[in-house]
Homo-oligomer: A and B are copies of this chain.
Amino acid sequence: MRIRVVNPNTTAAMTETIRRCALAVVGPDTVLDAATSVTGPASIESHYDEAMSVPGLLAAIRQGEADGVDGYVIACFGDPGLDAARELAAGPVIGIAEAAMQTASHLGRGFSVVTTLGRTVGRAEDLAERYGMQRFCRGIHACELPVLSLETDPDARKIVTEACREAVAKDASDAVVLGCAGMAELCAHIRDEIGVPVIDGVAAATLTVQSLLTLGLRKSGRGEFATPPPKTYTGLLESFGS
């Protein structure tokens, strides 16, 4: 069983963090690796970045299919390119927002999301709706730390922790969903500090993929998520055609 976690930004250090968090939860029969996108933004902090990360993500999925990968995690909380990736891959593709929110829905009546920049809150709202999780999502809060500062700012851990504490108090929620793959390693620390369950989507999505593979579940192969029809592509992206 081969699972690949794809970091849709191009920052390899973040991929390594993500890989560690995913590896920590898989079973002994699961082969897990992580891939960094070969083209696109260094971090994803706008609709523009997210859209522009998708070609690199899809290239990684295509590479994964060639490599015999069985299932994928998209390790960015905007779940960029999820629908397109599902068309390309034969096996399951899970976004970390999708998995984190569904996981949190089992832990009580409602959860709070804590994300990086305020401008990404809208995307998280859209995803909560898309996955049917609006009824569990009690609030989405920004700590206004840029994504890459999560790894470099010495106060990052404290800032995120305090944002989580305030979110739970304000929303009267039962759990916190971390709204950025770059927060994955803060998960246990925050849980210990604030005393409520904290969900890292990277680990949650990895286990969701592993479960789907164990259950032998993959898309039916027809309809909306069938392989895309062959198509001529031109210009810079010519190689993405078929």
Give the size range of A's interface with the partner: 35 or more
The 6 closest A-B pairs by CB, nearest first: A39-B235, A132-B132, A46-B228, A47-B83, A207-B211, A48-B228
For residue A216, give the distance in angstroms from its CB to the closest CB of chain B. 7
Q: Which of B27, B58, B204, B208 contacts A106 (CB 8 A)?
A: B208
Quick one: copies of this chain in the complex?
6
For residue A170, give the distance in angstroms from its CB to the closest CB of chain B. 14
The docked-state distance in angstroms from the alpha carbon of A63 to that of B143 is 34
For residue A177, give the distance in angstroms from its CB to the closest CB of chain B. 11
The docked-state distance in angstroms from the alpha carbon of A136 to that of B121 is 15
A180: CB under 8 A from chain B?
A: no
Chain B residue nearest to A209 (CB atoms) is: B106
- The winner among A46, A117, A188, A235 for most chain B CB atoms within 10 A is A46
Would A236 and B105 be within 8 Å (CB), given that A45-B231, A119-B224 are in contact? Answer: no
Chain B residues positioned under 8 Å from A216 (CB to CB): 188, 191
The docked-state distance in angstroms from the alpha carbon of A72 to that of B224 is 29
Chain B residue nearest to A207 (CB atoms) is: B211
B197 touches A219 (CB 8 A): yes
Q: Which of B109, B228, B234 contacts A10 (CB 8 A)?
A: B234
B224 touches A122 (CB 8 A): yes
A42 touches B98 (CB 8 A): no
Q: Please name 14 further chain A to chain B contacts, defined as beta carbons within 8 Å, in addition to the given A50-B84, A236-B236, sorted by A numbering.
A: A25-B215, A27-B27, A28-B29, A39-B237, A39-B238, A45-B229, A45-B231, A52-B84, A52-B233, A105-B131, A107-B217, A108-B224, A174-B219, A199-B217
